[in-house]
Amino acid sequence: MPKLDFGAAVIGAGVVGISVARALAARTPTLLLERLPAPATLTSARNSGIVHAGLYHPPNSLKTRLCLRGAALLQTFCETRDIPFHRVGKLVVAQSQPEAAFLHNLHAHASALAVPTQFLTRGRLLMLEPDICAGEAVLLSPNTAIVDTSALIAALLADVQTHSADIAFGSTVTGIRRADVGSGWILDVSCGDLPSISISADCVVNAAGHDSCRLANLTSLEKFTPHYCKGTYFAYSGPARPKHLIYPCPNKDLAGLGIHLTLDTAGQIRFGPDTEWARHLFGLR
């Protein structure tokens, strides 16, 4: 009979669920549940792999605190574990006066957060990125980095296993409810054609990505509505060999930071992601 009672259960083995399971497994018997046959195959495998420097979020916000602390912890983790992590830096390019004004505000905002940024002179820009045509100004964020997300996920998952956590692939959480006795939770879990089983845990972490609103709504009085958005990348194989991430000034009417040039740790260049709102999850395929 498999063990069905845990200190903690984490739903979803994306980068968030795996990281949370890694931390919890060091403290309590932990179960990581993933409905797909392998870890981190969805959003966690389809992103830009950028470690943001924390330029944009409001001061004193949780996002700023987590971004700054997370970036520092991530760099140390990658260095300790030999995971490719490169501080390539990011350039934000202003093509008009209003965009230049935006960059000056961004520079002041970053300085207030103690996040380094600097304007490039035309000479320095020519030296660093001769292919950039900047109408007005270019701001450099030297701390923005890229990470090898596959290597990162493999290392985090290895730690989860080292702490003897249980990992159940092909296991979909279909129901969550309070236990009749005590302060814990009961999860209904379906595993393919097998009969559904119930698992108990003192604490449950919902890291189910696209499914997290639906799962939260099973237990929470506050109801959440998901808003799905699809991003597509465009591969580039032309002669230019930029060394930095290159961003436009964000357009207020669009979600995201605008289509930018991304580099990965293997040197591949892509443009993206664009933003395409989708009414349903199946519209994202």
Ligand X SMILES: Cc1cc2nc3c(=O)[nH]c(=O)nc-3n(C[C@H](O)[C@H](O)[C@H](O)COP(=O)(O)OP(=O)(O)OC[C@H]3O[C@@H](n4cnc5c(N)ncnc54)[C@H](O)[C@@H]3O)c2cc1C
Residue 4 makes CB contacts below 8 A (sequence gap 6+) with 197, 198, 199, 200
- Using CB under 6 A, which of 27, 43, 135, 224 touches ligand X? 43
- Using CB under 6 A, which of 8, 9, 10, 15 touches ligand X? 15
Q: Tell me how far apart the 2 most distant CA atoms of the chain are, in Å.
A: 70
Q: Which is nearer to ligand X, 23 or 42 (CB)?
A: 42
Residue with tokens 């020519």: 126
* Closest CB 97 distance from ligand X, rounded Å: 29
Tokens of 83: 């995971």
Q: What are the strands, taking DSSP E only, across the chain?
A: 5-11, 30-33, 50-51, 85-86, 90-94, 118-119, 137-141, 145-147, 166-168, 172-178, 185-190, 197-206, 228-230, 234-236, 245-248, 260-263, 269-272, 276-278
Residue pair 160/27 in contact (Cβ under 8 Å)? The answer is no
Applying the rule CB under 6 A, the residues between 226 and 245 that interact with ligand X are: 231
CA–CA gap between residue 94 and residue 247 (Å, rounded): 9
Q: Determine if 250 is a binding residue for ligand X (CB under 6 A).
A: no
Applying the rule CB under 6 A, the residues between 265 and 284 that interact with ligand X are: 273
Calculated CA dihedral for residues 256, 262, 264, 270, nearest 10 degrees: 110
User: What is the SS3 assignment for 138?
Assistant: strand
CA 208 to chain centre: 13
Q: Which is nearer to ligand X, 44 or 117 (CB)?
A: 44
Q: Give bridge partners of residue 175 from the DSSP assignment.
A: 188
Q: Determine if 16 is a binding residue for ligand X (CB under 6 A).
A: yes
Q: Which is nearer to ligand X, 11 or 157 (CB)?
A: 11
The stretch near ligand X (CB under 6 A) out of 5-13, 84-92, 151-159, 191-199 is 5-13
* Closest CB 98 distance from ligand X, rounded Å: 26
The stretch near ligand X (CB under 6 A) out of 15-23, 75-83, 106-114, 197-205 is 15-23
Applying the rule CB under 6 A, the residues between 166 and 225 that interact with ligand X are: 172-173, 207-211, 215
Q: Determine if 35 is a binding residue for ligand X (CB under 6 A).
A: yes
Per-residue contact track with ligand X, 134 to 173, x per CB under 6 A? --------------------------------------xx
Q: Which is nearer to ligand X, 11 or 160 (CB)?
A: 11
- Write out the residues near ligand X by the rule CB under 6 A: 11-17, 33-36, 40, 42-44, 47-50, 52, 172-173, 207-211, 215, 231, 273
